């Protein structure tokens, strides 16, 4: 196997599914890429269940995900982390951001009505209405992080994605002040993911390109919290026949636990790995890991 530059002792990767349904071909591609990258670097691969949003969680989905990963030969290192049990850490990080965050009373409708535009994740860009305080008599719908004014270098986030290449985002114009905590007490994904990646010592985030647009916010939060920035690799998302990102909403079906090899080979093909004569799940990984290693032997070079 080709030697990789990144020190194997340092490498920590992770897969961080939200338990909103069983794994499907789209989430398998993300899981596979993160697992391959960790194993190709002789690193650790952690599993974190992002179960903060109880309204979106589906009973037993986490269990099903864990079972599927095991059936597909992806064994996590160490204990599984559940975000629902880590709320104290999010509170601590939130407290650390007290000087740069503020309560906001705007409803979703009010923000949409301001028509500033849509962020890359489809949410309306926040117009900054409550930056200087909420209107009298209103109560918070959310707590937001104040991002630097447009044109300020601190708010222009630039990073090199190992698959997608160079990416630059001006936070003020792309998303505006973003949510850290919702009025109903739920911690925002952006805050929780940054805190957990740092606490778990994650060096390499490998996930679907649907999260590319969240990365600049996460890097900015890392700067604000004094945390290291991991390297990023965002794999293209799987689309359905209509060209939409595959998800439960767009008709993704659950992976068949009885046919792991078929699904693994399909996911590998989607990642551009050409595998021949694979006859079992262990054989799949034996062959796929060196192929991935060859492609990512120079981790800082884009476009494998
Ligand atoms: N929990 C997120 C999801 O399932 C992924 C988080 C991440 O990989 O950063 O979409």
Nearest to 34 by CA among 260, 302, 231: 231
Measured from the CA of 193, which atom of ligand 1 is nearest? 9
Distance 240 CA to ligand 1 centre (A): 20
For residues 203 and 217, what is the distance between their CA atoms, to the nearest angstrom? 17
Nearest to 245 by CA among 211, 292, 204: 211
Measured from the CA of 27, which atom of ligand 1 is nearest? 4
Inter-residue contact 286 to 261 (CB < 8 Å): no
Name the phi and psi angles at 192, rounded to 5: -60, -40
The tokens describing 38, both together, are: 């960790």
**pLDDT tens, residue by residue, 81-119:** 999 999 999 999 999 999 999 999 999 888 888 777 787
Q: Residue 304: beta bridge partners?
A: none
Quick check: is 240 in a domain? yes
Pocket test for ligand 1, best of 122, 207, 216, 230 (most atoms within 8 A of CB): 207
The tokens describing 267, both together, are: 């996911």
**Residue 258 belongs to what domain range?**
8-84+230-299
Q: Is the CB of 193 inside a 6 Å radius of any atom of ligand 1?
A: yes
Distance 210 CA to ligand 1 centre (A): 9
- Nearest Cα residue to atom 6 of ligand 1: 16
**pLDDT tens, residue by residue, 278-300:** 999 999 999 999 999 999 865 44
**pLDDT tens, residue by residue, 31-65:** 999 999 999 999 999 999 999 998 888 889 999 99
Quick check: is 164 in a domain? no
Inter-residue contact 103 to 131 (CB < 8 Å): no
Distances (CA, A) of 132 to 3, 126, 154, 174: 54, 14, 21, 20
Distance 15 CA to ligand 1 centre (A): 8
**pLDDT tens, residue by residue, 249-265:** 777 788 989 999 999 99
Quick check: is 178 in a domain? no
Quick check: is 93 in a domain? no
For residues 181 and 53, what is the distance between their CA atoms, to the nearest angstrom? 12
The tokens describing 87, both together, are: 């709320």
What is the pTM for the complete model shown? 0.93
Torsion of CA 75, 32, 43, 218, to 10 degrees: -110
Average the pLDDT over each of 72-81, 263-272, 291-300 and give the range with the smallest value: 291-300
Quick check: is 173 in a domain? no
Predicted pLDDT at 298:
56
Quick check: is 91 in a domain? no
Inter-residue contact 260 to 281 (CB < 8 Å): yes
Between β-strands 204-208 and 231-235, what pairing exists: parallel, antiparallel or unpaired? parallel
Distance 208 CA to ligand 1 centre (A): 8
CATH assignment of the domain containing 245: 3.40.50.620
Q: What is the CA radius of gyration of the chain?
A: 20
Distance 17 CA to ligand 1 centre (A): 5
Place of tokens 């009025």: 183
Predicted pLDDT at 9:
57
Q: Residues 153-164: what's their mean pLDDT?
A: 96
Inter-residue contact 11 to 303 (CB < 8 Å): no
Quick check: is 96 in a domain? no
Measured from the CA of 197, which atom of ligand 1 is nearest? 9
Q: Is the CB of 207 inside a 6 Å radius of any atom of ligand 1?
A: yes
Q: Is the CB of 216 inside a 6 Å radius of any atom of ligand 1?
A: no
Quick check: is 191 in a domain? no
Buried b (16+ CB within 10 A) or exposed e, 148-169: eeeeeeebbbebebbbbeebeb
Q: What is the mean pLDDT of the chain?
A: 91
Q: Is the CB of 233 inside a 6 Å radius of any atom of ligand 1?
A: no
For residues 119 and 125, what is the distance between their CA atoms, to the nearest angstrom? 6
Q: Is the CB of 76 inside a 6 Å radius of any atom of ligand 1?
A: no
Distance 187 CA to ligand 1 centre (A): 14
Structural domain count, the chain:
1
DSSP code at position 76: P
For residues 213 and 205, what is the distance between their CA atoms, to the nearest angstrom? 14
């Amino acid at each position: 196997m080709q030697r990789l530059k990144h020190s194997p002792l340092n490498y920590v990767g992770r897969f961080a599914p939200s338990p909103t349904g069983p794994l499907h071909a789209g989430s398998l591609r993300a899981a596979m890429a993160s697992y391959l990258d960790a194993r190709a670097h002789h690193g650790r691969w952690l599993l974190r269940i992002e179960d903060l949003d109880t309204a979106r969680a589906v009973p037993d989905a986490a269990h099903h995900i864990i079972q599927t990963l095991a059936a597909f030969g992806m064994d996590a290192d160490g204990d599984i982390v559940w975000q629902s049990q880590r709320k104290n850490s999010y509170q601590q990080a939130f407290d650390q951001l007290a000087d740069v965050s503020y309560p906001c009373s705007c409803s979703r409708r009010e923000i949409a009505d301001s028509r500033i535009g849509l962020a890359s994740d489809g949410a309306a860009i926040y117009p900054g209405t409550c930056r200087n305080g909420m209107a009298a008599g209103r109560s918070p719908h959310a707590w937001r992080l104040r991002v630097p004014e447009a044109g300020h270098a601190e708010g222009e986030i630039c990073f090199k994605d190992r698959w997608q290449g160079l990416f630059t985002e001006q936070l003020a114009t792309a998303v505006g002040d973003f949510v850290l905590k919702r009025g109903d007490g739920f911690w925002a994904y952006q805050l929780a993911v940054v805190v957990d990646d740092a606490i778990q010592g994650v060096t390499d985030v490998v996930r679907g390109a649907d999260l590319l647009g969240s990365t600049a916010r996460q890097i900015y939060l890392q700067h604000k919290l004094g945390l290291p920035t991991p390297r990023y690799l965002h794999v293209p998302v799987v689309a359905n026949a209509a060209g939409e990102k595959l998800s439960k909403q767009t008709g993704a079906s659950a992976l068949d636990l009885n046919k792991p090899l078929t699904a693994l080979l399909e996911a590998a093909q989607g990642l551009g790995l050409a595998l021949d004569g694979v006859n079992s799940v262990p054989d799949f990984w034996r062959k796929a890991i060196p192929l991935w290693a060859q492609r990512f032997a120079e981790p800082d070079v884009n476009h494998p």
